[in-house]
Structure 1
C-alpha cells in the first residue's frame, strides 16, 4: 500500500512539474542562464561527509539541471565549475575536482549527444591538468555538430583576468596600429571576451544563500537578473530551476529605461 501511495505521489509531482514546464515555455524563456554552483562543501558537512562527497553529489545535480534546461528551451547554460581562486583549496580537493569533468563527461556524454547538447568551455584551458583537458576536449569534439543547448563550463575561469587579457589584446592591436584609440568601444571589448559568441546571461542563479558574484562574468552580467537561492547546490533540483525561471518571468527588465520590458 505504501509503495503504491509513493508511486502515486511521484506521478503527481512529475505531472505538476510537466505542467509548469509547459507554462514556462509558453512565455519568454531566458536565452542564457548562468549558475554559480555553491554549497557542495556545506552539504557534505551537514551529513558529516568529506567535502569531495558534496562535489560528487553536485555532479549529479549538473545532469538534472542540464536536462531540465534543455527541456525548457534554454539556449545556453553556463556553469561556474572552478574559479581561478579555487587553486587555493587543499590539494586533495583540487585533485578530485579536476577528475570530475572526466567522470561526468564519460558517464553522461552519450546522453548529451542524444539530447543534442553542445559542450563548450570558457577559462584558462592550458593551465588545467592533461587528463582534465583531454576529457573536456573529447566532449567538445564529440558534440561539436550539435545545435541544441550549449552546456558551457566555466573552468579555471576568473572574470578580472578575462578583462585584463581582453585589455591586453586590444592594446596590442593599438600598438601595432591595427586600430586607433577611437575604435575602442563596448562592442570591441565584448568581441574579445571569452563569451564573444554567446548572448549575455539573462538570468544568474547562485545557490546556497550566498549573495555575491565571486569574480564571475562581471562584464557580461551588467543587465542580468539575479536570483540568489537559499538551497545548497546538491539539493537544487528541477523544481528549483523551474521556480527560478518562473520568478524571472514575473520581473520587468528595464535596461536603463523608465518603463522597462515586461516578460
Structure 2
C-alpha cells in the first residue's frame, strides 16, 4: 500500500447514478491496495443529516465500508454542499472526519488539504453564508427539523446557489491568490490540494519559503478526477465516466 488517493466534488445525486457507480468501482479496485483515501468535500450534492438513510446514501456508505474493511484508511472533509456530514456517517463508513486546513504527510511530501471554499474570499456573500452554515448552533437547529423539511430547505438552497452563481464574475468564484499564499506560508508547506472551484489544474505559487504548487481537483461529470500520491510525488489525473454505468447490487 505505497500510494494514496485524493478526490473531491463528486456531488453524488440519485439523478446521476453513474457517479456513485464510478465511485463504487474505484473503491473496489483500490480497497486494501491504497494506503489512504481522502475525500475533500462535496461528496454529495446535498447532505441533510446522518439520519437520512435513503437507499442511495446507504449504498455509498456500504461501498466506503468495504473499502475501509479491506485495510485502507479513509478520511472525509466537509465541503460547501455536505457541511452537515457527521461523526455517525464517518463511523458507518469506517473512516474519520478531518478539519479544513489539515496538513498530512503524503509519502514524504507535507501537503495542506482544504476543500477550497474558504480561499474564495472575494465572494463576500458566500463567505457570510459559510460562516452561518458552520456555526454549531445553526447546524443543531437545522438538524432538529423533520427530515422532509430539511429536504425542501436543501432543494431551495441549491436553486438559490445556482441563481446567485450565474450572476457572479468568474474571478469572484475562484480562489484569492493572496489567501492561497497566506495559508500555505502559515502552514509551512509547498503543496496545497483543494477542490471546490471545478477548475482542475496545477498552479505555481510564489511563497516566502520558495516555489510552491496548488493542486486543484476537478468535479465529477463526464470525467472523474483524482490525485495519486506516492514516493515519486503527486499526479493529477482524470478518466472518462461511462454514463451508462450502473451501481452493483
> Fold conserved (TM > 0.5)?
no
- Higher helix proportion: 1
**Scaled by the length of structure 2, what TM-score is found?**
0.36
Q: Structure 1 length normalisation: TM-score?
A: 0.35
